[in-house]
A and B are shown apart, each in its own frame.
Chain A
Amino acid sequence: MVVWKFHSRLSFLSLNLMKNKLAVYIHIPFCRKKCYYCDFLSFTSSEEKRREYLEVLVKELELYSDLLYERGVSSLYFGGGTPSLLSEKELEYLFSKVFEKAKPQGEITFEMNPEDVSPSKLKLLKNYGDFRISLGAQSFEEELLKLFGRNHGVDEIFRAVDTLDSLDFNNYSLDIIYAVTEKFNMDKNISAIKAIYPSHLSCYALELHPSRPLAKLIEEPNEDLYKRDWDKLKGSLYSMGYERYEISSFAREGRLGFHNLNYWKGGDYLGLGLGAHGYIHPYRYSNERNLRAYIERVEVGELPLATKDYISHQDKRFEKFMLGLRLVQGIKLEELYPLSPKEKKAMDKHLANGLLKVREQRLCLSEEGFDLINHVLVDFL
């Protein structure tokens, strides 16, 4: 088998074979049209290009066969881009291969845009397992969806939700973007969330990238706007009974996003596909971002890594704060001791000013601290 030949290159991955199961992220970089705010790696595609990409993606997965076999897979996440734009035939191909090599024991998440949610696609998913859907709703303001350059309107979000409900997909998450302009408050989002009552929500402030068209259409949102929209949204979610378990994530009835939780807990994960990121302790790596280079390297049986960074003890320490503090439950104090002088100083400073607190032997951010997480983290760096 081809993989053996390259086993030595994989040795960095094999060091931790005995550790926990792997989370696996699979990147589908295609979109029908790039949204006006989006700065992630995505582009349009032809059927030909998608076929070639999926084949190479499967080959990349096969390069990791041994690792996947030995460690097993905890969660699986199909992200993008827009994985839901893949045709049913393309999905069949992808799933059949992925589930053969990387069948997860736990959560499987599939990102969908509202316009792609159809009974037939959902039925196809059901054949492969119990899927959690991450629905790219983004906003319930019609005008904003246009401004964002989304391919769907508000009606299509509701239609998608109805379709999900009718096929018994009861674990789905909505993505919401807040803090766009003064003009739009959170009212429409809040009433829609009340009506839909999804099991999970991911809420992100708009990041305006200077190179993207939206930057020319609206002014850079300011902190007051972030605060206004966020406090409104957060307050409403609390009163609806959502539990905030991570800085930007809310869930009800314990239906957390486990795949992402693994990132924040510092667990290992494999990233597959163009520009995907992975972490197999002690290395963080990222794949080629150039499609040609990615394809060519995988075709000759090479791992298509663009970067591979050794995470030193010190890096790991900082990551622990950076990632662990995103969680509402924070970090177990015992995992933090002994503190370096810098960490001690930062901790004392922010415990004194109330941005950090200790609760049940865990270090965590206060409600105010979550708003100023960067301000806190910088002192640990």
Chain B
Amino acid sequence: MELDRIRNFSIIAHIDHGKSTLADRLIEMSGALSQREMKSQVLDNMDLERERGITIKLQTSRIYYTGKDGKDYIFNLIDTPGHVDFSYEVSRSLAACEGALLVVDASQGVEAQTIANVYLADAEGLEIVPILNKVDLPSARTADIKDEIEEIVGIEAQDAPEISAKTGLNIDQVFETIIAKIPAPTGDAKAPLKALVFDSFYDQYKGAIPLIRIFDGEVKKGDMVYMMASGESFEVTEVGIFTPVMKTVDSLKAGEVGYLAASIKDVRYVSVGETITLGNRKVEEALPGYKEALPMVFCGLYPAEGEDYENIRDALEKLQLNDAALTFEPETSVALGFGYRCGFLGLLHLEIIQERLEREFDLDLIATAPSVIYKVETTAGETLFIQNPSNLPDVTSIRNFCEPIVKASIFVPKDYVGNVMELCQQRRGEFIHMEYIDERRVLLDYYLPLNEIIYDFFDALKSKTRGYGSFDYEFYDYVESNLVKLDILINKENIDAFSMIVHRDKATPRGRQIVERLKDVIPRQQFPIPIQAAIGNNIIARETVKALRKDVLAKCYGGDISRKKKLLEKQKEGKKRMRQFGSVEVPQQAFLSVLKFDEE
């Protein structure tokens, strides 16, 4: 296929604006899959994604289309994730494209998240093609939204296709617009191989499989490929494309998108951002422009059963194959024993990884309170970066205690501005700027401490704006702050897994909230259990779990033993997820309950 018949693009859209549905429709229209093979939303193929209605993992698909000009085209669609936590993954897929479809809901308009991704795409030099979706809905304000796109995003939108991905209305216009507007890839198939890894996944039989965009040259079975960053070489055993199911092809040439398999055992050799070239004909320079995935939120993950320690590592390694942003290293906790300190893009990312570990790998996990990275300058003149509160040096040796501050952009309908400002205030935000985008919507810029938003800021924002608020953030700076380490003591024993660093003004309410929650989730035992929150030796909150008094004795009527046994089995099931601290049993739920903070 000639280069001018290829189009590589991704889709940028806010959650629920119809990205996956449009992707389905495009694939379906191209005839790549039969109706029977077509599951609804083929690209969101993880259960978890389906449940949450969001895309987490990238998927890619080749689409064949015969244009109105009578020529055959190949479209390579590279799907992008849609949550603020995953902006790094978006950047990876964008770098493999020449253009991006900006899908906007014709009733809802442009959202903050969308704009952030448009900026990313723009930075990669992509052509942005606006598409108005859901124009068939009675609430559609197609003309207004077109103006809004021009105004906010700053791109021409009057000719944008007006479609309904759900009903299939005007989908052909999308194809034609792609052909007309998105540039064909450039590249030289005769030049040395230069391919970009924009994602990878692990196949049980074929090993780690990188998804690649070929910029120059050609790769085929039998080639020796060389990974420029890791310095490893592999023999290619298979090259192929996604339709979206995997399909072997003879070779992949400049401009094309696909995968290669090379019995790559260790995923670290095909990390995202890697440039692949040929062993005997190397390119001079690796491809530029990839951002490192920087984890922002950290927590300890520990096995509920000690013997799972190794299994967690295996599982994390497997997940890491598909998820370059996940980091982990071994750590030990006095309370929890051996586990791993894991880094995540955000709390949603953390929850997803935890859920996948439990669901897909059948592991029972305990997660410690999440933390951001704090910067500490000691009296000895050292600079330390602290991601685990337990590693904090003694207060007397801290000269300077700094926390990460982010710059957040929040889009909100004007009726909710008051609510959002109140929320930002509660989260120690510093107001920067407010701007009316149009007569209905406001952009608020705030400096916010990262540790105030990692827990549940997104949820709180949604609930305070009836779901209309959206936000994005970027790291701003480390700023000195009045921070303290809050410890939780159960039965007088400091449980390091619960320790967290908080602002002094927040320590007492947060401490009280935690002990109250723990009081509710820790089952009563034979003796009363004091639960305390402390800063150093100073107790700032206390609750007591009362001692057990008397069990209800179910009547074993007429010799019905099974009923009683079932009740005990249920009780036992609850105890399974318990962790013993000294003489106190703490359910896993307790660790989760510490994560969630709401104002109510």
Do A and B interact with each other, yes or no? yes
Chain A binder among B173-181, B275-283, B565-573: B565-573
Known: A375-B548, A378-B575. A271 touches B558 (CB 8 A): yes
Minimal Cβ-Cβ distance residue in B for A222 = B549
Judged by a CB distance under 8 angstroms, whether A189 is at the interface is: no
Residues of A within 8 A of B549 (CB): 223-224, 226-227, 371
Cβ contact within 8 Å between A322 and B568: yes
Q: Bound complex: CA of A138 vs CA of B549, how far in Å? A: 23
Q: Can you list, as one digit per residue, whether each of A262-276 has a CB less than 8 Å from chain B (1) or not (0)? A: 010000010100001
Q: How far in angstroms is the closest Cβ of chain B from A20? A: 15
Cβ contact within 8 Å between B559 and A271: yes
Judged by a CB distance under 8 angstroms, whether B537 is at the interface is: no
Which positions 183-242 of chain A face chain B at CB distance < 8 Å? 204-205, 207, 223-224, 226-227, 230
Judged by a CB distance under 8 angstroms, whether A244 is at the interface is: no
Minimal Cβ-Cβ distance residue in A for B567 = A374
Cβ contact within 8 Å between A205 and B553: yes
Residues of A within 8 A of B559 (CB): 25, 263, 269, 271, 277-279
Cβ contact within 8 Å between A381 and B572: yes
Q: How far in angstroms is the closest Cβ of chain A from B548? A: 6
Q: How far in angstroms is the closest Cβ of chain B from A279? A: 7
Minimal Cβ-Cβ distance residue in A for B575 = A378
Residues of B within 8 A of A122 (CB): none
Residues of A within 8 A of B35 (CB): none
Judged by a CB distance under 8 angstroms, whether B479 is at the interface is: no
Cβ contact within 8 Å between B553 and A375: no
Residues of B within 8 A of A25 (CB): 558-559
Minimal Cβ-Cβ distance residue in A for B569 = A381
Q: Bound complex: CA of A307 vs CA of B526, how far in Å? A: 37
Q: Bound complex: CA of A374 vs CA of B551, how far in Å? A: 6
Q: Bound complex: CA of A276 vs CA of B562, how far in Å? A: 12
Q: How far in angstroms is the closest Cβ of chain B from A138? A: 12
Cβ contact within 8 Å between B553 and A79: no
Q: Bound complex: CA of A284 vs CA of B561, how far in Å? A: 9
Among B524, B553, B554, B575, chain A packs the most CB atoms within 10 A around the CB of B553
Residues of B within 8 A of A318 (CB): 565
Judged by a CB distance under 8 angstroms, whether B205 is at the interface is: no
Among B556, B557, B558, chain A packs the most CB atoms within 10 A around the CB of B558
Cβ contact within 8 Å between B554 and A286: no
Known: A27-B558, A277-B560. A205 touches B552 (CB 8 A): yes
Judged by a CB distance under 8 angstroms, whether A164 is at the interface is: no
Judged by a CB distance under 8 angstroms, whether B555 is at the interface is: yes
Residues of B within 8 A of A374 (CB): 551-552, 567-568, 571
Q: Bound complex: CA of A113 vs CA of B526, how far in Å? A: 39
Q: How far in angstroms is the closest Cβ of chain A from B355? A: 28
Judged by a CB distance under 8 angstroms, whether B550 is at the interface is: yes
Minimal Cβ-Cβ distance residue in B for A380 = B568
How many chain A residues have a CB neighbour from B under 8 Å? Answer: 40
Pick the contact of B564 from A248, A279, A286, A322 — CB < 8 Å?
A322
Among B550, B556, B564, B572, chain A packs the most CB atoms within 10 A around the CB of B550
Q: Can you list, as one digit per residue, whether each of B504-527 has a CB less than 8 Å from chain A (1) or not (0)? A: 000000000000000000001010
Residues of A within 8 A of B560 (CB): 277, 286
Cβ contact within 8 Å between B550 and A230: yes
Judged by a CB distance under 8 angstroms, whether A91 is at the interface is: no
Cβ contact within 8 Å between B526 and A378: no
Cβ contact within 8 Å between B568 and A226: no
Minimal Cβ-Cβ distance residue in A for B551 = A374
Residues of A within 8 A of B555 (CB): 204, 207, 248
Pick the contact of A263 from B556, B572, B575 — CB < 8 Å?
B556
Pick the contact of A355 from B526, B552, B557 — CB < 8 Å?
B526
Pick the contact of B571 from A79, A224, A269, A378 — CB < 8 Å?
A378
Pick the contact of A207 from B526, B554, B569, B571 — CB < 8 Å?
B554
Residues of A within 8 A of B567 (CB): 374
Cβ contact within 8 Å between B551 and A40: no
Cβ contact within 8 Å between A323 and B561: yes
Q: Bound complex: CA of A278 vs CA of B564, how far in Å? A: 15
Q: How far in angstroms is the closest Cβ of chain B from A192? A: 21
Among A286, A322, A378, chain B packs the most CB atoms within 10 A around the CB of A378
Residues of A within 8 A of B562 (CB): 277, 284, 286, 307, 309
Residues of B within 8 A of A322 (CB): 561, 564-565, 568
Minimal Cβ-Cβ distance residue in A for B560 = A277
Residues of B within 8 A of A269 (CB): 559
Pick the contact of A247 from B553, B558, B571 — CB < 8 Å?
B553
Q: Bound complex: CA of A365 vs CA of B401, how far in Å? A: 55
Q: Bound complex: CA of A79 vs CA of B550, how far in Å? A: 28
Q: Bound complex: CA of A307 vs CA of B557, how far in Å? A: 17
Residues of A within 8 A of B554 (CB): 207
Residues of A within 8 A of B550 (CB): 205, 223, 226-227, 230, 371-372
Residues of B within 8 A of A299 (CB): none
Judged by a CB distance under 8 angstroms, whether A10 is at the interface is: no
Pick the contact of A79 from B557, B572, B575 — CB < 8 Å?
B557
Judged by a CB distance under 8 angstroms, whether A373 is at the interface is: yes
Residues of B within 8 A of A166 (CB): none
Q: How far in angstroms is the closest Cβ of chain B from A118? A: 25
Residues of A within 8 A of B561 (CB): 263, 277, 279, 284, 319, 322-323
Q: Bound complex: CA of A205 vs CA of B555, how far in Å? A: 9
Judged by a CB distance under 8 angstroms, whether A377 is at the interface is: yes
Pick the contact of A40 from B524, B557, B564, B571 — CB < 8 Å?
B557
Cβ contact within 8 Å between B557 and A223: no
Q: Bound complex: CA of A204 vs CA of B567, how far in Å? A: 16
Known: A322-B568, A375-B548, A378-B575. A248 touches B553 (CB 8 A): yes
Q: Bound complex: CA of A263 vs CA of B565, how far in Å? A: 14
Residues of A within 8 A of B548 (CB): 223, 371-372, 375
Q: List 22 A-B contacts (CB under 8 A).
A: A27-B558, A40-B557, A205-B552, A205-B553, A224-B549, A226-B552, A227-B549, A248-B553, A248-B555, A263-B556, A277-B560, A279-B559, A318-B565, A319-B561, A319-B565, A353-B526, A371-B548, A371-B551, A372-B550, A375-B551, A378-B572, A378-B575
Q: Please list the 8 inter-chain residue pairs (A to B) with the smallest Cβ-Cβ separation, ordered nearest first.
A: A227-B549, A223-B549, A374-B551, A226-B550, A371-B550, A227-B550, A277-B560, A381-B572
Apart from A226-B552, A355-B526, list 4 A-B contacts with CB within 8 A: A279-B561, A284-B561, A323-B561, A374-B571
- Which A residues fall within an 8 A CB radius of B? 25, 27, 40, 77, 79, 204-205, 207, 223-224, 226-227, 230, 247-248, 263, 269, 271, 276-279, 284, 286, 307, 309, 318-319, 322-323, 353, 355, 371-375, 377-378, 381
